Amino acid sequence: MLKAGNAVVEFCLLVMSAAAGALAGLTGRAAGRLTLVRDGEPQASIVVAAEPTDNAKAAAEELRHYIEKMSGAQLQIVTDRDAQDRKFPDGWSLVLIGPSALTDRMAGLAIPAGLTKNLREEGFIIWCEGNQLVLAGNDEGPYKGTRYAVCELLHRLGVRWFLPGEFGEVVPRQETIEVEEMELRQRPDFPVRDFWEHARGNMAQELRDWKIHNRMNPDSAWWTGVPVDSSVRSYMPADQFEAHPEWFALNEDRTRNPHMPCMTHPDMTKHFVERVKADARAGKRASAIGADDGAPRCYCESCMKLTSGFDGMGSNERAPQQWASISQEWFHFINTILDEVNKEFPDQVIVTNGYANRDVPPEIKGFNKSGNLVIMFANIPACTIHAYDDPGCWQMQRQGQMLRRWCELCDKVWIYNYNYTMLVSKDTITPMVHRIRRNIPIIKQWGAWGFLDQDEADWSMCGVPTRLVRARL
- According to the model, what pLDDT value does residue 320 have? 56
The DSSP bridge partners found for residue 195 are 453
**CA dihedral sign, ordered 135, 137, 141, 144:** negative
Q: Global pTM?
A: 0.89
- Could you tell me if 326 and 307 are in contact, meaning their C-beta atoms sit under 8 angstroms apart? yes
Q: 154: exposed, middle or buried (C-beta count within 10 Å: 0-12, 13-18, 19+)? A: buried
Distance of alpha carbon 236 from alpha carbon 255, whole angstroms: 17
- According to the model, what pLDDT value does residue 28 have? 33
pLDDT digits (tens), the chain, 473 positions: 223 333 333 334 344 344 333 333 333 334 489 999 999 999 999 999 999 999 999 999 999 999 999 999 999 999 999 999 889 999 999 999 999 999 999 999 999 999 999 999 999 999 999 999 999 999 999 999 999 999 999 999 999 999 999 999 999 999 999 999 999 999 999 999 999 988 889 999 999 999 999 999 999 999 999 999 999 999 999 999 999 999 999 999 999 999 999 999 999 999 999 999 999 999 999 999 999 998 899 999 999 999 887 766 655 555 556 678 999 999 999 999 999 999 999 999 999 999 989 999 999 999 999 999 999 999 887 888 889 999 999 989 999 999 999 999 999 999 999 876 665 666 777 778 888 999 999 999 999 999 999 888 888 888 788 889 999 88
The DSSP bridge partners found for residue 286 are 349
- Chain-centroid distance, C-alpha 184: 23
Q: Angle at CA 161, nearest 5°, toward 156 and 162?
A: 125
For residue 101, what is the enclosing H or E element? Answer: helix 101-104
- According to the model, what pLDDT value does residue 322 have? 67
What is the three-class DSSP state of 372?
coil
Rg (CA), the chain: 26
